[in-house]
Chains A and B, each alone.
Chain A
């Protein structure tokens, strides 16, 4: 009993070092809280119900894409075709349903299948042909957009079915997209942390060679991650088209990099094998609030971009500092360099 009370007392008077470690390890949460505080000070209407609901609704779309992106990045890849998939789903649903509820089920299934198919092709090219993920998915994105343009001739494709519009509505205090997102987050998080597939994905992202030597089908695991990403991108595209109200080919623009940014800011390592859905939620929240507050303050788009860029770089910088300090403070690059320079100077002096 005595020792435990001592321990407790210790916890309440942390040293500066402990605070440092805490801030580094939980930096992203600290940052989110600070951002919310700052936003509410800068803009009094930030905390108004309407604004909060609006933010949650738009966070949902980014959140849904980012789930898929998180899977892909944990597996050691990146998917830059999610934006194109979103746009395609949005147009496809409008083309198939033409504003009626008759074909909506078929429409939704078709959209999701297209998303999964795009992911499958991405995954096959990346694993079987051993091509770099960024290039493959970027190429795929351009290809899909081109194909879509050829099909629609650049004309806006009318309205999606009313059912799709329902997906993006706010009922009282419950924005439907948020509910969809929360459910998806929960499912995705359980699969990632508690299913064999999730384990395999972490192993494959962390060290594909060792995963192979453990009897894991590395290629299959990676391909599935891209199919999941395509699925979530298509779903996000549907929600977005319900939100916007028509199938426009510009839907989905910007979501490639935003979803990567939200994932990385949330602590998933771009090298693969590390991260999680929980961090991505925080990343999505930060990105959404940043966007919202610049709108509320009437700041021009350039300011928004600059701030966004800074946040991404700052987050990655923080994680890289965390990694170096985890490897032991004395053996970091800077110290090594200094010791080398010192020794060289010494030798020169002795030579004289």
Chain B
């Protein structure tokens, strides 16, 4: 009998085109709070989903043991039967049902007659919630609770399912201040009860406050597991980021040119608050920040998806009024959005039809699209970006992530954009294509565009940017020149220190 409650041994998981996990092992001691850390795309979520029975690891080498016994977690129900409960960021709760119904969904106690015993159900729910320091009427609709309270309800639901292991997927991303302290109290009380907690986060302060041990993942590989008591923050940061900042990043050869875009005190209803900055021709401006810091929201504001409540956008010395996406395209702004599948591409349509979507008027003569011009345009751009596909009429759904992303970039090449905004340009694409993408981004800048690159990958931000803005809660927390920037300085600004 080992001391470990959970043993994940040599877990490998491949998705089409991406190796999400490569021989990762993690062992969790019974009754500890175990932090799982790493940058975005490190493989944390995939590992958790394997433990939750959502994904199955590849091959036969991967072994999962719970309490020393080998198990096959083929679906979430089996995982639950093994005592594993996951609390995801987006809750699996039903807003228009009461707290009681949410906790005992499908398992409400009944009287002998078969009618639901509400009295018993409500008192049971109350009891569970009180044990978690939450004193609310269990008949409240879930939608009327705060985010923190909803989290507690999820934990209560897990407890009612006799969970021995509770996994929390970045619970702090949606909490602040007092709420966070409250969550920590709850986690400590879980620990006292002997429940094992796996806590996912990339906020170092939290990990040092709550965790006993931490496992660090990077690029789908295990970096190591360490005891928090004996560890230094800088050590953990180094493990998270790694020291592989090498020549994979093409450096700029010419200096930056004249001012192309100026943003003055812009705010939106969607998080952005009083943001100002300047972008020059030929530079790559990196925008760093944690999930929820407002990077994507800034991209949306610049492209006119969210309307401004305040401030000005000035392009080429001209103030732009009431910007919307169509106007943005006409003004020479190109956007590679954060989520290529839902925002960047029409998956059902061909490569050709996706690439020419923003530039149809180039080929339109007397109201009709000139076939030959369009085909030539598409072929040229596919070649320029080395998009690998059977043909121009291949449906983009069938392409790998990297090639899909190149199609999104190709959409904007023909517009000769002055301002090129790329939001998480390398998310979910393989290492080789990543490198190509970096070259493409650098080329865009060399060709005279001002490039804004939002990324949660520090390595990428550091490697690519000529200048770095760090965002925190919708505001610019600070600006760093590329020679003064370091992982730690960025992280400190990003967590609001």
Give me the interface of A with B, judged by CB distance under 8 Å: 190, 194-196, 199-200, 202-203, 206-207, 209-217, 273-274, 339-340, 343-344, 346-347
Contacts and interface: CB of A to CB of B under 8 A. Distances in A.
Contacts of A199: 353, 356-357, 360, 369
Contacts of B330: 215
Given A206-B346, A212-B305, A343-B78, 13 more contacts: A195-B369, A199-B353, A203-B346, A203-B353, A206-B348, A207-B348, A211-B357, A214-B411, A343-B74, A343-B75, A344-B74, A344-B75, A346-B72
Given A212-B305, A344-B75, A202 B346 contact: yes
A347 B53 CA distance: 13
Contact of A200 (B72, B348, B360): B360
22 contacts: A194-B369, A194-B371, A195-B364, A196-B360, A196-B361, A196-B369, A199-B360, A200-B357, A202-B346, A202-B353, A206-B347, A210-B345, A211-B346, A213-B303, A213-B335, A213-B337, A214-B358, A215-B326, A216-B325, A217-B326, A339-B74, A343-B78
Nearest to A336: B75
B373 interface: no
A203 B343 contact: no
Contact of A347 (B78, B346, B368): B78
A127 B283 CA distance: 39
A237 B360 CA distance: 35
A146 B348 CA distance: 40
Nearest to A197: B367
B329 interface: yes
Contacts, number: 90
Interface in B325-373: 325-326, 328-330, 335, 337, 342-349, 353, 356-358, 360-361, 364, 367-369, 371
B347 A213 contact: no
B71 interface: yes
A213 B305 CA distance: 8
A339 B75 CA distance: 10
B364 A196 contact: yes
B77 interface: yes
A212 B329 CA distance: 11
A196 B71 CA distance: 56
B368 A190 contact: yes
A344 B346 contact: no
B368 A343 contact: no
A213 B325 contact: yes
Nearest to A198: B369
Contacts of B77: 344
A343 B64 CA distance: 15
A222 to B, nearest CB: 15
Contacts of B357: 199-200, 203, 211, 214, 216
Interface residues on B, range: 35 or more
B320 to A, nearest CB: 14
Given A199-B369, A207-B346, A210-B342, A347 B72 contact: yes
A117 B335 CA distance: 36
Contacts of B348: 206-207, 273-274
B346 A195 contact: no
A340 B368 contact: no
Residue from A199, A211, A274 with most neighbouring chain B CB atoms (10 Å): A199
Nearest to A212: B325
Interface in B153-188: none
A276 to B, nearest CB: 13
Contact of B325 (A206, A215, A273): A215
B326 A216 contact: yes
A206 B74 contact: no
Contacts of B353: 199, 202-203
Given A195-B369, A215-B326, A215-B329, A273 B346 contact: yes
B366 to A, nearest CB: 10
B343 to A, nearest CB: 5
Contact of B349 (A202, A212, A344): A202
Contacts of A217: 326
A326 to B, nearest CB: 9
A201 to B, nearest CB: 11
Nearest to B357: A214
A345 to B, nearest CB: 10
Residue among A190, A207, A340, A343 with the most chain B CB within 10 A? Answer: A207
Contacts of B75: 340, 343-344
B369 A215 contact: no
Contacts of B72: 343, 346-347
Contacts of A194: 368-369, 371
Max chain A C-beta neighbours (<10 A), residue from B342, B357, B411: B357
A36 to B, nearest CB: 31
B53 to A, nearest CB: 10
Interface in B58-90: 71-72, 74-75, 77-78
A323 B201 CA distance: 39
A347 B452 CA distance: 51
B341 to A, nearest CB: 9
A213 B346 contact: no
Nearest to A327: B397
Contacts of B346: 202-203, 206-207, 210-211, 273
Contacts of B360: 196, 199-200
Nearest to A193: B369
A273 B347 CA distance: 10
Contacts of B303: 213
A200 B371 CA distance: 16
Nearest to B328: A215
A186 to B, nearest CB: 13
Give the one of A200, A202, A210 with max B CB within 10 A: A210
Contacts of A274: 348
B433 to A, nearest CB: 20
Given A196-B361, A343-B78, A344-B78, A206 B328 contact: no
Nearest to A207: B346
A344 B361 CA distance: 56
Contacts of B74: 339-340, 343-344, 347
Contacts of A213: 303, 305, 325, 335, 337, 343-344
Contacts of B78: 343-344, 347
A331 B77 CA distance: 20
Interface string B310-330: 000000000000000110111
Contacts of A190: 368
A191 B367 CA distance: 9
Interface string B277-314: 00000000000000000000000000101000000000
Contacts of A196: 360-361, 364, 367, 369
Contacts of A203: 346, 349, 353, 357
A214 B343 CA distance: 9
A215 B347 contact: no
A211 B346 CA distance: 7
